[in-house]
Chain A
């Protein structure tokens, strides 16, 4: 049973660039959430996708956007990258909005 997978593992970008991170949910899961984890801190909720729509959003600017595809996989897009966007980005999936949440291994984004 495949768990949550994310790509790429690591990414280096420069300020002002745009980045796309990808996530495939655990088999059988249909809900995907994204979290940002800065070094030494707990993860912060970015948004959640269910039935291909953004259902809930945390306190993140519009530079952060996402998408969910019919196969439940998801993308996180960040525009106009800032140094402060450097973090580990975690994807999490669940079965329905009420299921137990499982996390992927994360994508480490470094903005120079």
Chain B
């Protein structure tokens, strides 16, 4: 079983500044995947970034990067040069490998509502 915890219900950032959203997880599996999804008011869930646990290098997608600390089971999202369009609910999620039986069953955290201030 996997659990994902987001301890920041709300965060705010000034436009053009940097913000970091926190996420911790727990899993008994050795092979797993971690994700950050963005859900704007339209409610469309959009994949922001993906990290394979076996990769030591932190994933990066343009202004979005993660700090993956495997031993600490921590997976934070850093948004650089924040834009008004980044305002949304952000969910941290995980799933196990296909061999684990929990393949592609995403487990989500409770979300962090990000406000971007002009």
Mask: chain A, 96-108; 1 = CB below 8 Å from B; 0 = not? 0111111111101
* List of B residues within 8 angstroms of A56 by Cβ: 101-105
B43 engages A31 (CB within 8 Å)? no
B43 engages A45 (CB within 8 Å)? no
* List of B residues within 8 angstroms of A100 by Cβ: 47, 50
Question: Is B91 in the interface zone, CB < 8 Å from A?
Answer: yes
Bound together, the chains give a CA A56 to CA B105 distance in angstroms of: 8
* List of A residues within 8 angstroms of B111 by Cβ: 41-42
Distance from A11 Cβ to chain B, minimum over Cβ atoms (Å): 14
A45 contact from B37, B47, B50, B106, Cβ within 8 A: B106
Interface centre among B42, B91, B106 (most CB of A within 10 A): B106
Interface residues on chain A, size class:
20 to 34
* List of A residues within 8 angstroms of B47 by Cβ: 100-102
Question: Is A88 in the interface zone, CB < 8 Å from B?
Answer: yes
Chain B residues numbered 17-55 whose CB sits less than 8 Å from any CB in chain A: 37, 42-47, 50
Mask: chain A, 76-110; 1 = CB below 8 Å from B; 0 = not? 00000000000010101010011111111110100
Which residues of A come within 8 Å of B, CB atoms?
31, 33, 35, 41-45, 48, 56, 58, 88, 90, 92, 94, 97-106, 108
Cβ-closest 10 pairs across A and B: A42-B108, A103-B45, A97-B103, A45-B105, A98-B98, A105-B44, A43-B108, A106-B43, A97-B104, A42-B110
Known contacts A94-B104, A97-B98, A100-B47; 20 additional CB pairs below 8 A are A31-B104, A33-B104, A33-B106, A41-B111, A42-B93, A42-B108, A42-B109, A44-B108, A45-B107, A56-B102, A56-B104, A98-B103, A101-B104, A102-B47, A103-B46, A104-B44, A105-B43, A105-B44, A106-B43, A106-B45
